[in-house]
Structure formats: C-alpha cells, structure tokens
Amino acid sequence: MKKGRIIIITGSPGTGKSTISSILAKESNMSKSVNMQTDDFYHYLSKGAIPPYLPESNEQNLIVIEAFLESAKRYARGGYDVIVDGIVGPWFLEPWKALAQEDYEVHYIVLRASMEIRLRSKLKSVLIVQYLKILYNRNWS
C-alpha cells in the first residue's frame, strides 16, 4: 500500500487555512484523505488544560503536537492523504522534519493574507455568530 502525503497548512487566523484544507482533502488525487484540525486535539484536553498561547503551556503543546503527529502518521501509513490544518509554527517543525527522514512525504505550506482580508474574514465570522444568536433567541410561536 502506498503511503499518503502529510500536508501541513498553517498561517495566522483568518488566512483561509480551514477553507484550503477542506478543498485539498476533497480534491486529493489519493483514493482516501483526512482533514485533521489541530484545534480538535486541544479540545480533547478535559482537566488541567492550559491555554496554548501561554508560555507555561509549552510542555502541554508538545504533547498535543505529538498526539496529532502520531495520528497523521497512522493515517498516512494507511494510504490516506493527510491535510493538517492549524497553527504549526516553525518552533514546532522538528518532529515534522523527522517524519521526512522516516520516508514520509511532508509538505509545509504557510498562508499569508493582508490585515484587511484577515479582519474581513473575522468580521464575517462575528456577524454570523451574532445572526445565529438572534435567530436562536427568537420566539417562534
């Protein structure tokens, strides 16, 4: 069985990581693909979770990265194209570079966008959330 590729899509919030990752997973030329959201692995933490942006979360963040890296490897060994969607900064690249040395095909793509585009993207999200709150709080009787 042919190994799948591991494609990391990263960038700051609002650059289109989730949109691009979803498209890549659906349009993969492999017969199987998976779109892994790194944020999901942080949501699995139930007790003692530290917000990942705090300096004291470094050990936790390394464990979370190792967890989704191992998941990505397993999917790739199973013949899946693996699209990793999340903020994977250069400070977390060493384990991914080691995968390339283990004969995995690994790609690292950084998305960048202007502040105007990023703010527009975030504004749409805020407006959608506000709309849904209004919709769900409405009296439908």
All residues at 6 or more sequence positions from 9 whose CB lies less than 8 Å from its CB, including other chains: 17, 20, 21, 24, 83, 84, 85, 86, 109, 111
Continuous H helices in the chain = 17-27, 38-43, 58-77, 94-101, 115-137
> Where exactly are the structural domains of the chain?
6-114
Integer Cα distance of 96 and 75 in angstroms:
15
DSSP class of residue 127 equals H
What's the Cα-to-Cα distance from 85 to each of 22, 68, 126, 135, 140, rounded to whole Å?
A: 9, 11, 21, 30, 38
For residue 101, the cross-strand partners are: none
pTM: 0.77
Say how far apart CA 88 and CA 38 lie, in whole Å.
9
Give the helix, strand, coil percentages of the chain, each rounded to 5.
50, 15, 30
pLDDT at 121: 62
Average model confidence (pLDDT) across the chain: 84
Residue with the bigger pLDDT between 12 and 108: it is: 108
State yes or no: pLDDT of 9 exceeds 90. Answer: yes
pLDDT band of 109, cuts 50, 70, 90 = very high
CA distance 118 to 53: 19
**Confidence tier at 114 by pLDDT (50, 70, 90):** confident
Q: Are 17 and 64 in contact (CB under 8 A)?
A: no
Looking at residue 12, its pLDDT comes to 80
Lowest mean pLDDT among 12-21, 23-32, 42-51, 103-112: 12-21
Average pLDDT over residues 35-57: 92
Q: Which CATH architecture has domain 6-114?
A: 3-Layer(aba) Sandwich (3.40)
| Lowest mean per-residue pLDDT among 6-20, 72-86, 105-119 | 105-119
> In this predicted structure, what is the pLDDT of residue 92?
82
Q: What is the percent of the chain where pLDDT is above 90?
A: 49
